[in-house]
Amino acid sequence: MPCALLHRALAAALALALISSTSRAAAPAAPEEATAESPAAPAIVSGEVNFELDVLPVLTAAGCNSGACHGKARGQNGFALSLLGYDPGFDYSAIAEEAHGRRVFPAAPDNSLLLRKASLAMPHGGGERLKPGSQEYEVVRRWIASGMKRAGADAPSLDHITIEPSEHVMPAGSSEQLKVLAHYSDGSTRDVTRLADFQSNDSGVVSVEGGLVTAGQLPGEATLMIRYMNNIAAWNTAIPIEGSVEAQVYDALPRDNFIDPLVWDKLQTVGVVPSKPAPDHTFLRRAYLDVIGRLPTPDEARAFLASGAPSKREELIDALLDRPEYADYWANKWADLLRPNPYRVGIKPTMAFDAWIRQAFRKNQPYDEFARELITAQGSAWRNGAATWFRDRRTPDEITPVVSQLFLGIRLECAKCHHHPFEVWGQDDFFGLAAYFSRVGHKGQGISPPISGGEEVVLVKDSGSVKHPITGAVVEPKPLFGTARDIEAGEDPRRALADWIASDDNPYFAKVAVNRVWAELMGRGIVDPVDDLRATNPPSNAPLLEALADDFRQQGYDLKKLIRRIMTSHAYGLSSVPNERNVSDTRNYSRHYRSRLRAEVLLDAVCDVTGVPEDFNAMPEGTRSMEIWTHRVESLFLDAFGRPDANQDPPYERLPDSTIVQALHLMNASELHKKISHDEGRAAKLAASDKPPQEIIDELYLLIYSRFPDDEERQLVGEAFAATPDRRQATEDLMWALLNTPEFMFKD
């Protein structure tokens, strides 16, 4: 028999055998029917079926291309799909063409390996994914039977998704069914609720299953993250506190600037009432710590508390912003985000980088200029500290996620390898942005790896490119969204990137900046984490974030003006003491959120209180911890209270939690005891003075708490003084006791 006839005979025999085996197997389940409990859902697909619009969403909803199944890097059992269907061409080839098309069988669709495995007609490690007779099963079956068509050139493409109904407040215990609508390029829409993926960021507040949203019994807020293919949407809701609040309560609240009405509007929506204003001593201490990172002196506290000027709080803020300590304090915060590992880049470049950051804050450099200067830095890392950034992050793929996270609030690290399930950025986006750094070069002793002490020059090469890791194609520079200006011949591509990033038309740039400052002053970002701005991590108060960003742009990206704007709002001056209607609020700024002092601030405060400065290795005498330029300087105190590890890569966000180690350090550290009991320390000098006990007590309370003791404290401490024959011992004991209280350790 000729070979061709033999092949046809074998194919026919195989088809008959498969059809016969199907007839012996259990018949497919009947199509789903409506019941009283489960009304019939709209058909997933009507009309012609194609792969990209119809089949791929079914496989994605079934989890076939998830990271735990065939979507992982090497696939599963020889069958690999792109993660969550982000590469339809690869998936079509894997299903319809790979291994001579053995996974699909148009002559008998039910006998296709794709369906038999997914329906458990054959053993399948992933379990049942498509139930025979279901709409999902029938879509795949019809596609196979119709010849496995891929989307034609004239087929519409998925544009975006919307959620119905729109966001709103839900009563406790209520339920509501959401509808997900897919909108296509030809203007058509399709109900894809059945194929969408739903997640709640707080299932205790609101749970969701198949689009059915159920509110819990306790008040709170939650965001639902909805994904259909590579399109993502967020749906926010809140469960208000039981009971109503009269509108007059909110109408009567002060409105010192545009921030206040936006905060009050959100509080009214969720039925939360703000706390009372903080007393003067609390505001005084808070303002000093927020602006310059140090405590007011007793004399400064006395003067402020005694003043009856109605504008004294605003005048205090202005005076603090003009003090030189402002630059060191806020530069110390940015050093956490930028300072490189000194073991990798060398001591001299690390010092130069620190000096560059501090100088930017000393001259109050506009934030957009700061960003441009850093992103386009070049020259010797010994002379231009900003160039140290590129000595540390040496390749385009290393610098790209840092730039994006710091200046756009977009975390791109995952996109270097794959799409994230609830993100819109992929490899094309990552490497398009990375291409702007393709011509950054290095010259000198610091090249691969850097040699500590060697000078290195960061320069712009004549040529350079970035290649896509999958296709190998050269990727052209492209911003993440919108358009960037053209790169002129011979121009450093980073300049075009910096112009796009710092443009007034780029909403992310101003938003992430104001969000970071807001978090420092108010205890929590409007978006939290502060550098994770995305649709599925929405702001707690979107109008407030927009208004702050707009004002920041209008004020010329002036950080001091931004800080002043926030601090002169009534919301900033609220007490941290909760009331019965805001005790559970942690994100709407109905009260001030207490936060532990930074390690450097706390150590400097201890030195100021005791009157004994810290002695740091390799630093001039009298150096404050806020002035340290590298974390290689040894300090058990700073390590205990959470300064970054010198080997840790930036950006670094400090953990705000208190620990047992910290409490034990304040109680038992020998170095702290030496400061308190030092012969030249404050306690010894106060005890040796002619001040009566009550004045010593007042002095220590003003020094540590920025307030006078109340009547009960005066009596108790006075009795303790009287009962201790050694006046110096009594003074030291009181100082130690006050330093070991939350009122000292926390910004109230």
Q: Is residue 201 within 8 Å of residue 225, measured between CB atoms?
A: yes
Q: Do you find a cis peptide bond into 165, omega within 30 degrees of 0?
A: yes
pLDDT of res. 626 = 95
521 within a domain of the structure (yes/no)? no
State the number of CA atoms in the 13 A half-sphere of 618 facing the CB. Answer: 10
pLDDT tens digits along 404-413: 999 999 999 8
Is there a single domain that holds both residue 228 and residue 97? no
| Number of domains the chain is built from | 4
pLDDT lower than 70: segments of the chain: 1-46, 152-153, 420-422, 446-453
547 within a domain of the structure (yes/no)? no
Rounded to whole angstroms, the Cα distance separating 642 from 659 reads 10
Short-list 617, 613, 641, CA closest to 629 = 617
pLDDT of res. 446 = 58
pLDDT of res. 652 = 83
Question: 145, 179, 213: which is the final residue of a domain?
Answer: 145
pLDDT of res. 42 = 58
Rounded to whole angstroms, the Cα distance separating 410 from 428 reads 15
pLDDT of res. 589 = 97
260 within a domain of the structure (yes/no)? no
Task: Tokens for 13, please give them.
Answer: 């025999």
pLDDT of res. 650 = 83
pLDDT tens digits along 471-505: 899 999 999 999 999 999 989 999 999 999 999 99
Roughly how many angstroms between the first and final C-alpha of the chain, as a whole number? 93
Question: 145, 168, 201: which is the final residue of a domain?
Answer: 145
pLDDT of res. 29 = 40
Is there a single domain that holds both residue 343 and residue 488? yes
252 within a domain of the structure (yes/no)? no
Q: Do you find a cis peptide bond into 340, omega within 30 degrees of 0?
A: no
Is there a single domain that holds both residue 611 and residue 675? yes
pLDDT of res. 9 = 39
Is there a single domain that holds both residue 664 and residue 740? yes
Residues sharing a CB contact under 8 Å with residue 512, sequence separation 6 or more, in sequence order: 406, 407, 408, 409, 530, 531, 533
Is there a single domain that holds both residue 348 and residue 409? yes
pLDDT of res. 44 = 67
Question: 501, 532, 551: which is the final residue of a domain?
Answer: 501
pLDDT of res. 528 = 93
Is there a single domain that holds both residue 412 and residue 485? yes
pLDDT of res. 235 = 94
Is there a single domain that holds both residue 348 and residue 483? yes
Kindly report the pTM of this predicted structure: 0.87
Is there a single domain that holds both residue 413 and residue 478? yes
Calculate the alpha carbon distances from 583 to 272, 273, 445, 590, 592 in Å.
9, 10, 58, 9, 11
608 within a domain of the structure (yes/no)? yes
H-helix segments, 611-726? 636-640, 660-668, 670-676, 682-688, 693-705, 711-723
Q: Which domain holds residue 65?
A: 41-145
CATH number of the domain enclosing 216: 2.60.40.1080
Is there a single domain that holds both residue 108 and residue 180? no
Is there a single domain that holds both residue 414 and residue 368? yes
Mean pLDDT for all residues in the chain: 89
82 within a domain of the structure (yes/no)? yes
Short-list 596, 562, 735, 607, CA closest to 295 = 607
Is there a single domain that holds both residue 89 and residue 232? no
pLDDT of res. 21 = 39
166 within a domain of the structure (yes/no)? yes
59 within a domain of the structure (yes/no)? yes
The strand order across the sheet containing 189-191 reads 158-164, 179-184, 189-191
Is there a single domain that holds both residue 487 and residue 360? yes
pLDDT of res. 45 = 65
Q: Is residue 567 within 8 Å of residue 521, measured between CB atoms?
A: yes
pLDDT of res. 27 = 36
pLDDT of res. 512 = 98
